[in-house]
Amino acid sequence: MITTINEYKIYLEELSNILEIHGILVMNKNLAGQEEIYSKIRSLAGVTILTTDEVMEPEQQQKNRYRTKLKIKIDKYPYLNNKDQGFDYQQLLTAIRRITGVVDFIIK
């Protein structure tokens, strides 16, 4: 059952084979470098494209709460042969949030 507008947007985007998620990534660059975090996100199953865009000038950001916009494209094919019900975006969000240096990932 869809309970929020974000879940509805994700539901509509799931109708194709490629899912696209937009959000704000909050990082602690004291724990891990920005490129290292991006690399770990790219290595997650199904992630095909990761595009970033700065929220504000890097000089104005706090190093322990660095924010950037992310657009992640996910190919659902790796999930189609699972015994589960298929792709679960919550598992992907949890995997992103568990990466060392990620403080939060907020879906827009």
Terminal CA-to-CA distance of the chain, rounded, Å?
19
The pLDDT of residue 18: 79
Query: Distance of CA 26 to CAs 2, 35, 55, 66, 92, Å?
Result: 26, 14, 10, 6, 16
Which residue would you say has higher pLDDT here, 108 or 102? 102
The pLDDT of residue 16: 65
The pLDDT of residue 104: 93
pLDDT in tens, 12-51: 555 567 788 899 999 998 999 999 999 999 999 889 899 9
**Which DSSP helix (H) or strand (E) runs through 6?**
helix 5-13
> Domains (ranges, CATH) in the chain?
5-107 (3.30.70)
pLDDT in tens, 46-89: 898 999 998 877 777 887 889 999 999 988 777 665 555 666 77
Q: What is the pTM of this model?
A: 0.76
Q: Is the pLDDT of residue 10 over 90?
A: no
The pLDDT of residue 103: 94
